[in-house]
Amino acid sequence: MADNAEKDKKDNSFMMKLATLIVDKRKGFYLIFIVLCIFCVLSMNRVKVNNDLTTYLPDTTETRRGLDLMDSEFTTYGSARILICNVTFDEAQKLADQVEEMDGVSMLDFDDTEDHYHDMEALLSVTFDEEADTEATQQHLDEVLDALSDYDVYYSSDIGQEERDADDLNNDMIVILLLAAVVIVAVLLFTSTTYAEIPVYLTTFIVAAILNKGTNYWFGTISFVTNSIAVVLQLGLAVDYAIILAHRFMEEHEDKDAREAVIVALSKAIPEISSSSLTTISGMVAMMFMQFRIGYDMGIILAKSIIFSMVAVFFLMPGLLLTFSKAIDNTHHKSFVPKITAVGKFCVATRYIIPPILIVGVIIAFFLSNKANYVYDTNTLESSTMSDNKFSVSMVNKEFGMVNQLAVIVPNGDYEKEAQTLKALEKLDVVKSCQGLGNIEAMDGYMLTDKLNPRQFAELIDLDIEVADMLYSAYALDQSDYGALVSGVSEYEVPFIDMFLFIYDQKESGNITLDDDLEETLTDAYSQICIAKDQLLGEDNSRFVLELNVPYEGEETTAALDQIRNTVAKFYNIDDILLVGNATSDKDLGDSFATDNTIITVLTALFVMIILLFTFQSAGLPVLLVVTIQGSIWMNFSLPYLLNENVYFLGYLVVSAIQMGATIDYAIVITSRYMDLKTYMPIKEAAIEALNQAFPTIVTSGSMLVSAGFIISYVSSNAAVAAIGLALGRGTLTSILLVLLALPQTLLIGDIIIQKTAFTLKRDLAKPLPSAGRIRMNGHIKGYVNGVLEGDFIGVIDGEMGAVVRPKDTVTMEERDDAPEESYPRLEAQELPEDETAGQKATGADTEAADKKASDKEKTAESEGTEDEQ
């Protein structure tokens, strides 16, 4: 009667009902997933990808404010640096003249200086007459390159750069996904026990990836980093969920038919997978709090990928398991994953050696990781592979150096002050060249902003003085400068650029008529002056364009920026000055890095510790696990310091969150098995067995994530993506080694801490289970009595024991195999009178733990209404 009631209660549980619904309605779920996949495939093209990391800078940074201002007030025309190899200077000059006459080319710089020609190599600096992001400019650049196709030509340009980067990255990702697929199949073949599991896994992975990628358009625009690595990371991060369900199914299918096995396995796997996902999602959530908003971009997309992976595992994979159940039964093979008992014995033998070494190593790694050379500009990085575009750019930079441009923005309205500022900047050693309206020559030594009276202007453009006086009077009237009209315009001085543009506008509107020669002069000069004006003069601000002779980033560059700012501050209020360029962007990223690093480290550790606190019901255990994984993170990023490598800041931030959120699962797998096993066996044996049981899961999931990281690193031609991949591969490998070779010792040594900090409520029991002495019992016993035993036992035990017991006539063998241990009714063993007792009094952490767990479970059984029998 009690058996039937317990079985009905189990069958009517919410999880069982949900699992039954999912399995029985699997064809309906198939249809839903097919429709969703078709929708998502069609939606993938709606995703906009942003290749500019500066757009994710906080709005308060100087670079972001300057970029926004430049977008609204200035025009940046497309330009290109074209390298022609193996040509004489005369040949290069002819080619330069030819290019300068081509449609769309507004300016071309080429001379016999080292900046443009040396060692049979020429550099043409071309400026086009439209902005860089227009199709017309891209077409003009293609025409120039076609005209030079007979020569060995390389180029570097901002024209179409985002599209080229996107195409390169898409080509890289095709190769990466193919290689990742091969690795995943190989790993699954190695770790699985049946070949038919493979199509089930792959179908689940592919559907989850399609759902995530096809819904990215929900967020409008995502970064190229997120778009490129999200799919691979999703497979690596969420593979555990499919493995958990598949292994549950295999266990249940040993004594159940396929349908029942899938239902029971799913009902048990849903809570387990949901709990496991929390630590991974917490790492993604921590990224969303970064000041550098690409953290939010990556965090929310990856968190969504975890959710869709669970959806595929919960609602699609059960049906697939049932559909492939016969094939699974017929394709069993021996698992190739070896036992690692030797590693477990090593851990036990070194339990007093490794933990102190680990502590010292973590401290050293912390300091070394902080001393690593963190870089913020992708131009500083090198990738293992290069696309044709990247190689072309590298050739130009190799022969004629990289161009480090800096824009200085100041309030406009005072041309004299601008000219003085430009002269001061030109004198600085860190400034290679400087350009503004105040130092661009107009004609015969006059600058665009020089003030000229009517006579000077007339002589400059070969205009009659009377006409000049008339034009100056018209200008004064247009500007409402009546004082000049009253005193006479002969001494009235107007900046050349303003007077020139005024005359051109009057000509275009038909108010004045000029002779053919003067009109041709105006027309020829107008386009050049307009290009300069559009780029350097805004509605409220002026822009100076500097070329620096310092690197993109570093202490030298920071000092140069301070020197430039202080020089400009001699003429303008320092609060009105904005510096914008790669150098300032890198500086802003560096300033936000310290804060973001703290946010990632603290929030990820805090979220994970809270989750572990409620999972293991101990305050000490979460600290031990988090310190282990955080130690692996510091060790990961101390390696570049030892190898004298640069560390890309974004790789550190992203991988820190992923490594803590995802690889903490490896520690949880070992710890949960250890905590369970030690209730009925000595802790040394529990540690060894925990490693053996956890190793297949860790090697399956971990090898995929490690492979994904290294594949991304060595295949991607994008330096930022490659840097993230390398850090991810190294980090995951470090975490795996640490949880396998150092965590067991930490658990053994810290076992007393785990027990002392446990906050499981103690219960008052009338008849606690004796731990030693002479005990009579009749039932199923699992534990050890001077050794480990499990089986039905009738008789008297004389000696020390650490076991859990339940009455034989309360639980059937089938229920015993299916039900979790916590649900077993407990048997109150009868302790014989003192004069009949013998044996030693039990002591030690093992026995105490066994007593405590058995007592707690006895109380649980009583609360459920189960009557214990003696």
Cα 720 to Cα 379: distance, rounded to the nearest angstrom: 9
Angle 369-370-376 from CA coordinates, rounded to 5°: 95
Percent composition of the chain: helix, strand, coil (DSSP 3-state, to 5) = 65, 15, 25
Confidence of residue 796 (pLDDT cuts 50, 70, 90): low
- Which pairs with CB-CB distance under 8 Å and at least 24 residues apart come from 323-327? 323/26, 324/196, 324/197, 324/199, 324/200, 325/253, 325/258, 325/262, 326/258, 327/196
Report whether pLDDT(706) > 80: yes
pLDDT at 544: 94
Asked which of 231-240, 296-305, 355-364, 839-848 is least confident by mean pLDDT, the reply is 839-848
pLDDT at 763: 37
Residues making up the chain, counted from first to last: 870
Highest mean pLDDT (candidates 571-575, 787-791, 825-829): 571-575
Cα 800 to Cα 841: distance, rounded to the nearest angstrom: 7
- Average pLDDT estimate for 532-554: 90
Task: Report the DSSP pairing between strands 152-157 and 77-85.
Answer: antiparallel
pLDDT at 505: 85
Instruction: Write down all domains in the chain, each with its CATH number in brackets.
Output: 56-159 (3.30.70.920), 338-398+584-759 (1.20.1640.10), 448-537 (no CATH), 772-863 (no CATH)
Report whether pLDDT(515) > 80: no
In 254-386, the DSSP E strands lie at: 373-375
pLDDT at 805: 52
- Average pLDDT estimate for 281-286: 87
Residues 6+ apart with CB under 8 A from 651: 720, 723, 724, 726, 727, 728
pLDDT at 87: 92
Nearest to residue 115, comparing CAs of 401, 364, 475, 354?
A: 401
% pLDDT > 90, the chain: 23
Predicted TM-score (pTM) of the model is 0.74
Task: Report the DSSP pairing between strands 48-50 and 117-118.
Answer: unpaired
% pLDDT > 70, the chain: 86
Chain-centroid distance, C-alpha 638: 19
pLDDT at 785: 54
pLDDT at 779: 57
pLDDT tens-place string over residues 1-44: 444 444 444 455 788 889 999 999 999 999 999 999 999 999 98
Report whether pLDDT(175) > 50: yes
693-726: buried (b, 16+ CB within 10 Å) or exposed (e) per residue? bbbbbbbbbbbbbbbbbbbbbbbbbbbbbbbbbb
Highest mean pLDDT (candidates 289-293, 422-426, 623-627): 422-426
| Contact yes or no for 636/731 (Cβ under 8 A) | yes
- Average pLDDT estimate for 500-517: 80
At 271, the amino acid letter reads: P
Bridge-partner residues for 49, per DSSP? 222
Cα 229 to Cα 514: distance, rounded to the nearest angstrom: 62
Which DSSP symbol is given to 540?
A: S
> Mean pLDDT in the chain?
81
pLDDT tens-place string over residues 438-451: 888 887 778 888 89
Cα 185 to Cα 188: distance, rounded to the nearest angstrom: 5
Angle 709-710-715 from CA coordinates, rounded to 5°: 105
Report whether pLDDT(827) > 60: no
Cα 293 to Cα 282: distance, rounded to the nearest angstrom: 17
pLDDT at 808: 43
Q: Is 717 helix (H, G, I), strand (E, B) or coil?
A: coil
pLDDT tens-place string over residues 184-209: 888 888 888 888 888 998 899 999 99
| Contact yes or no for 700/243 (Cβ under 8 A) | yes
Place of tokens 């089930």: 200
- Average pLDDT estimate for 708-729: 87
- Average pLDDT estimate for 585-597: 87
pLDDT tens-place string over residues 74-92: 988 889 999 999 999 999 9
- Dihedral of alpha carbons 521, 523, 528, 534, sign: positive
Report whether pLDDT(823) > 60: no
